[in-house]
Amino acid sequence: MKKKIIIISGEPESINSEIIFKSWKKISKKLKKKIYLISNYELLVNQFKLLKYKIKIKKVKNIYQNDDGEFLKVLDLDFNFKNLSLFKKKDVNKFINKSLNLGHEMALKNDVKGIINCPINKIHLNKKFYGATEFFASKCSIKNNSEVMLINTKKMSVSPITTHINIKNVSKEITKNIIINKIKTIDFYFKSLFKKKPRIALLGLNPHNSEFKKNSEENKIIIPALNKVKNIGVNISGPFAADTIFANNYKKFDVIVGMYHDQVLAPFKALFKFKAINITLGLKYLRISPDHGTASDIIGKNKANPESLLNCIHFIDKYGK
């Protein structure tokens, strides 16, 4: 039996139904047979209708109901989303959390390659989670902040030590142990996934690495962490100044690790646009998502780019076990 790919439809008020449809139209029948979508059937039918998309869709009770790839198979969550102009926050909260929990449960099955969750608005998650990365890490009982957000393309990857937190809190969240744990996770899972020992570049926190002043985070935290992982065999260099790494020698590395989200994501997205995917390293299974948000400004306008979701589907089909 071919292993399945689970897609979680994510945020109801978003471009997700559009990128799901556009991706579905571009993949092969062979690949369509493997895909099962966790969503609400009525929601999808109505959104496809509004967008004037013609697609064959059917409810299934489990991932063992097969077809010839003609139908988009939906594991239906029973929510009343018929009125698309009136999404109640409490209903959306329940829907998203139920979707993610079911995705987690299914990802643990031996006959599932992994899960893809489409973008969500993080206000619908429990406040203790910064985002889906931390949600799935909690479900997998990951300790010591060792889970990693790896933003990946075929050419290179980036990873932030801190994820979706306010910039004023970044320096408080960076510790020697957190950097060490995350670098070790990157090194281990990169080798496991891609069969290659990664060349890692580590960035500093401050402009010009704060000129390596005695009391800087670079001297007190980042350099000691770098030396520790280097001593255990990790191929890592740095710390590099964040303002020049993407202008000069980023092509020398497989992974560039920064201290906060936009430090590495902003230049990375400028370089690679919609090609990237978001992989969570450290889980008990393969979980990825498109590397963009819900795009509320273009909902229903048929302008959404499906490339990142398409790359997620092809990636999980290739690398999922």
- Domains located in the chain, CATH noted: 1-142+286-293+307-321 (3.40.718.10), 143-282 (3.40.718.10)
Question: Angle between the 89-107 and 132-139 helix axes, to the nearest 10 degrees?
Answer: 50
**Residue 66: strand, helix, or coil:** coil
| Mean residue pLDDT across the chain | 92
pLDDT of residue 129: 80
| pLDDT at residue number 91 | 83
**pLDDT higher than threshold 70 for residue 34:** yes
The reported pLDDT for the residue numbered 83 is: 58
Consecutive H or E run containing 211: none
Report whether 150 contacts 255 (CB < 8 A).
yes
Least confident of 176-190, 201-215, 218-232, 249-263: 201-215
Give the span between the Cα atoms of 261 and 210, in whole angstroms: 19
Which one, of 236, 225, 239, lies nearest residue 200 by Cα? Answer: 236
Residue-level pLDDT at 212: 77
281-305: average pLDDT: 93
Which of residues 113 and 68 earns the better pLDDT score? 113
- Please provide the DSSP assignment of 125-157 as one string: S-TT-SSHHHHHHHHTT--TT--EEEEE-SS-E
Residue at token pair 């559009």: 18
pLDDT tens for 251-268 read 999 999 999 999 999 999
| 117 in Cβ contact with 103 (< 8 Å) | yes
Distance in angstroms (rounded) separating the CA atoms of residues 196 and 129: 31
Q: CA–CA separation, 256 vs 72, rounded Å?
A: 37
What are the tens digits of pLDDT across the range 107-131?
Answer: 998 899 999 999 998 888 877 787 8
pLDDT of 86 above 70? no
- Across residues 47-52, what is the average pLDDT? 92
Place of tokens 């390596």: 212
Q: Are 237 and 255 in contact (CB under 8 A)?
A: no
What does the alpha-carbon distance between residue 93 and residue 95 come to, in Å, rounded to a whole number?
6
The answer to which of 9-13, 36-40, 64-68, 170-174 has the lowest mean pLDDT is 64-68
Would you say residue 84 has pLDDT above 60? no
pTM of the model: 0.92
Six token digits for residue 222? 């980042």
Q: Is 45 in contact with 52 (CB distance < 8 Å)? A: no
The edge-to-edge listing of strands for the beta sheet with 4-8 is 57-60, 72-76, 35-39, 4-8, 112-117, 287-290, 277-281, 148-152, 157-160, 255-258, 200-203, 236-240
pLDDT digits (tens, 9 = 90+) for 136-185: 999 999 988 899 999 999 999 999 999 988 999 999 999 999 999 999 99
